[in-house]
A and B are shown apart, each in its own frame.
Chain A
Amino acid sequence: MLACGICIAGFTLCVFFDVVTRSIGMPWLWLQQATTAFFAWGVFVGTAVATRRHDHIYLAEITKRMTGARRTVIETINRLVVFVVACFMVWFGTRNAILDLGSFRMPWLIPLTVYTGIVPISGALIMLFAVEQMVNGLKYGYEGPEDNEFQAERAA
């Protein structure tokens, strides 16, 4: 969460100073590149954090209405899907990042890796969180306190 806060604060400050320096006729061109970097890093760090906090957008929360073995199986499959996607992000994201060492963004010729490097880092964090959730889920069950709402809704 702290990293999310740092990214958006950095992003806001960069846009702010970009407008200010441009208005006074002394633009700092590097600010635009820093803005894009904070933005991209913020998105991928936020994606990893949201995975841990279950804050992502879901199409359905059918598993919340389930209990027992059926729930354990489906929740574990869900985490495995996330884990596999994260593996792809790590492996192919790293290859992209290495390749991007040879590509540069104008006008300061910053290697593209500075931007795309966050993809494998985010993937690694997501892998970690998915494994953590699977281990905890298999050990203690996937049911959480928020499930009571669904049970109450079901009863109603």
Chain B
Amino acid sequence: MSETAILVLMAGLFLLFGYMGVPVAFAIMAAVLAATAFTPISYQSMIGQMFHGIDAETLLAIPFFLMVGELMTSADVTQRMIRLAQVLVGHLRGGLAQVVTLFSMFFAGISGSSAADVAVLSRSIAPEMDKEGYGRAFIAALIASASTIANLIPPSIMAVVYGATGNVSIGGLFLAGVVPGVMIGIGLMIYSYFFGPIGTMKKRANLCDVYLAARGAALPMVIPVIIMGGILTGWFTPTEAGMVAAVYILVVLIPIYNRQHIWRLPADFMYTGLLYALPLALVAGASAFGWMLAYLRGPDMVADSIQHYAGTDPRMIMLLLVLLFVIVGDFIDAVPAIIIFMPIINKLTQLGDINSVHMGVVIITTLVFGLLTPPYGLALLIAAKFVGVPFYRAMFRSFPLYVVFFITIAFTVLFPEVVLWLPKTLLPESVGCFKNPSGAGYICP
């Protein structure tokens, strides 16, 4: 059997099993094992590859970022941040829609997962929005769109996976994700202001209310400072920063704000233990898939096709990759997509002489958009389920919001100097800068 035929068989089986309802991790593994039968590779090494996929130190950060989100949500500490968002933007046109977006930007600095964000918003603000007549389809579409910011503003699980698989600085990816994350947030707020439902217009909060809400949310808002401050100062690795944030919630926030919740902590731990296994089971399967893809020279084939159209022009390469990942993101989850396609991304990054952090943030921003697009828009699927609206209705209502993502992706591709400004300023080594041998400052390529 030719290499191309094995590749087609492997991809086809994965999609067939996946859409039949086999869990994604097992669909990937089954496809890889089927493809292995037509190659001289042993099954033993493929099973070993699945284990080695998760045996990476950088992936250790994922459980902590999920734990932080889960503890904040289940202990109801997030209510204080929602209150702060309400006093800041609740009086604007489409007040609750603005609150959803602003809260998502706050919460993105604490949790690295869209699912936690969707769960919080669907439980707390969605019923109130429903009463104010926003329409359930719009509520689900907005919550899903806003929750994607969690994958861009640090800490981001996608950035951890990308960094671990592609050997790219995770700190650099975290910082580079801030610009597209904030752009999506502001874009959604502008959309809600001009084109979204009006909702109930409320009085502007007075300074005293703002002060009280800010004071109430001050302790939870320390978490992003702990995480990013720890990483940027070099005190902690991303894993340790996540652990310190989790300990801070356990030792400071829960005893102060919700002492009774201490008795429910064992249940939180058990649930988080299950929760972190889900993306990492995908990582295990996808790393075997990616390895097989590389063995069958899949990256060469795709890279050659892209090179045929784009030459070595970095912008054209990135635009074609964006197109590829928009299609890929429609069908598969972001985490396996990153791992499976990493050999292709690496090859094209070298070909176009593109900064690896810039390429990473472009890919992550594109995959974040895939969380909304049918048939496999995970964030939209969860939001539609929680809000209680058929998926197709939420999907139609999310179409206009796509514009925000298109603009953000195009901006991220076309203006690397803006996207990389933050990592260049705060963590120059992460984007390939090196210390100037003749004095202070850095020399950047």
B318 at the binding interface (Cβ < 8 Å): no
The tally of residues in B whose CB lies under 8 Å from a CB in A reads 62
The answer to whether A46 and B26 have CB atoms under 8 Å apart is no
A112 to chain B, nearest CB (A): 9
Stretch at the interface among B138-146, B255-263, B276-284, B436-444: B276-284
Per-residue A-contact encoding for B172-216, CB less than 8 Å = 1, 0 else: 000000000000000000000000000000000000000000000
The answer to whether B27 touches A81, judged by C-beta atoms less than 8 angstroms apart, is yes
B43 within 8 A of A: yes
Given contacts A46-B274, A57-B333, A77 and B20 within 8 Å (CB-CB): yes
- Residues of A contacting B30 with CB < 8 Å? 81, 84-85
B60, A62: Cβ atoms closer than 8 Å: no
Could you tell me if A81 and B22 are in contact, using CB atoms closer than 8 angstroms?
yes
Instruction: Indicate if the CB atoms of A8 and B63 lie closer than 8 Å.
Output: yes
Q: Name the residue on B nearest A45 (C-beta).
A: B277
Are A60 and B376 also in contact (CB < 8 A) when A4-B270, A88-B33 are?
Answer: yes
Chain A's interface: helix, strand, loop or mixed, by majority? Answer: helix
Chain B residues with Cβ under 8 A from A56's Cβ? 23-26, 278, 281
Q: Which residues of A contact B50 (CB under 8 A)?
A: 89, 119
Interface residues of B in 248-298 (CB under 8 A from A): 266, 269-282, 284
**Residues of chain A contacted by B279 (CB below 8 angstroms):** 57
- Between-chain CB contacts (< 8 Å), 25 pairs: A8-B67, A15-B243, A19-B236, A36-B57, A39-B59, A39-B63, A44-B277, A46-B276, A46-B281, A47-B277, A50-B281, A57-B24, A57-B333, A58-B23, A59-B376, A60-B376, A61-B21, A82-B26, A88-B29, A89-B47, A95-B44, A99-B44, A115-B55, A119-B47, A119-B51
B residues near A (Cβ < 8 Å) are 15, 17-27, 29-30, 33, 43-44, 46-48, 50-51, 54-55, 57, 59-60, 63-64, 67, 236, 239-240, 243-244, 246-247, 266, 269-282, 284, 331-333, 375-376, 378, 385, 390-391
A residues at B contact (CB < 8 Å): 1-9, 11-12, 15-16, 18-19, 35-36, 39-40, 42-47, 49-51, 53, 55-64, 74-75, 77-78, 81-82, 84-85, 88-89, 92-93, 95-96, 99, 115-116, 119, 149, 153, 156
